Structure 1
Amino acid sequence: MRKPQLALLLALAAAMPAWPQPRSNAFHDPFVQVTSAIAACPVPAGPLYTEAEARAAEHVRTQHGTSCYHSGRCRLPNSYLYDAEIIPRVAQYIQRDGRFAGTSVWVVGERRLVTLLGCVQSREQAEALEKSVQLVDDVMGVINHLAVPGEPPPYDVAK
């Protein structure tokens, strides 16, 4: 192939839109819907990664996961091992607490951190939910990404 043809092919390839990369829950982080009372609440995308993003995150996740054990803060050898057991208990806790029945909430577990996604009736309800989840055994922290009516969701939305 001659240089002008090769240059033209390279220019065309660079100008083409990139194909969307498939995304998956590569690390099997627990992600569940806990309540569903607000029909108009945007569904979160969940913990999804492209293959490249997953490769880039592997080292950091390994380091974060084992440092908890090595420092003596975790009894299990990797802090991500707690998540599969924590998230069902968080879901049960939220569902049995009558204060949160009028919400649409999803929870994600990652490294003993619980992320709250979805919609609540008020900022006070969001704060109460955050404080309540913090009380669940083995939860190290809670990340509150809950929206109230009229606010855009503070999380990526499922497509």
Structure 2
Amino acid sequence: MKALLVALLLAGVADDEQVLNRFNDPFVAVSEDIADCPEPRGPRVDAAEARVQAHHRAERGTSCWLSGQCSEPNAYRFDARIAAALQEALRGAPALHPSSLWFTVQGRVVYLEGCVDRAGQAADLEAQARGLPDVLQALALVRVGPGGTLPYRRMP
């Protein structure tokens, strides 16, 4: 019985340390043209980070509706629709290539992360995302050209 309890406790600790998409935010890879572009961490967090984010997400999710800025009672309810629309819009977008790009949608905000070939691509992709219904903001956190620093957290 003690061995089972210890195993369960250790499993819980291991789960707490795992980096997972704990809020099930849309996270989509949309291109893979640049081979040396590391995958972003995106919406994946460990349990401690999830606990820190939980209050802010609850507050942000409902304040949008309470202030009359959202037609849904939670801003995060828009995210799946926004992700589907963005994926479709980017499918034929000239600014998408060449790039290796992922996007996350959280509370009507689109985060584009990855690598692009030229600086103008980032602005074009942000503008395309901002033009979609219900998108509040779009941010491109990308490495431009080969080398350079990554402006996003990446997977280990």
> Out of 146, 155, 159, which is 2:152 matched to?
155
Deviations 1:114-136 (A, max 9, x none): 00000111111111111111111
Separation (CA, whole Å) in 2 of partners of 1:99 and 1:116: 13
Match of 2:22 in 1: 26
Q: Which moved more, 1:67-76 or 1:137-146?
A: 137-146
Q: Mean Cα displacement is larger for which, 21-30 or 68-77?
A: 21-30
Any idea what SS the aligned residue of 1:105 has?
strand
Aligned to 2:83: 87
Instruction: Please tell me whether Structure 1 or Structure 2 has the larger radius of gyration of its CA atoms.
Output: 1
Once residues 69 and 152 of structure 2 are traced to their aligned partners in structure 1, the CA distance between those partners, rounded to angstroms, is 29
Q: How many residues get paired?
A: 142
User: CA separation in 2, counterparts of 1:99 and 1:50?
Assistant: 33
TM-score by length of 2: 0.85
Query: 1:125 maps to what in 2?
Result: 121
Greater than 2 Å deviation, 4+ residue runs:
none
Q: CA deviation at 1:101?
A: 2.4
Moved more, 115-124 or 142-151: 142-151
**Residue range with higher mean Cα deviation, 142-151 or 73-82:** 142-151
Q: Is the 1:126–1:144 Cα contact (8 Å) retained in structure 2?
A: yes
Greater CA deviation, 45-54 or 23-32? Answer: 45-54
Q: Measure, in 2, the Cα distance between the counterparts of 1:144 and 1:99.
A: 13
2:118 counterpart of 1:134: no
How far the C-alpha of 1:156 sits from its partner, in A, is 0.9
| TM-score between both structures, scaled by the size of structure 1 | 0.84
Does the CA-based 8 Å contact 1:95-1:101 persist in structure 2?
no
Match of 1:115 in 2: 111
- Rounded to whole Å, the distance in 1 between the matches of 2:142 and 2:151 is 7
The answer to whether 1:144 aligns with 2:140 is yes
Q: How does 1:8-23 map to 2 (within 5 A)?
A: 21-23=17-19
Partner residue of 1:44 out of 40, 43, 49: 40
Aligned to 2:6: none
Structure 1 unaligned blocks of 5 or more: 1-18
2:75 aligned with 1:67: no
Asked whether 1:54 is paired with 2:42, we answer: no
Q: Once the 2 structures are TM-superposed, how far is the Cα of residue 56 of structure 1 from its aligned partner? A: 2.1
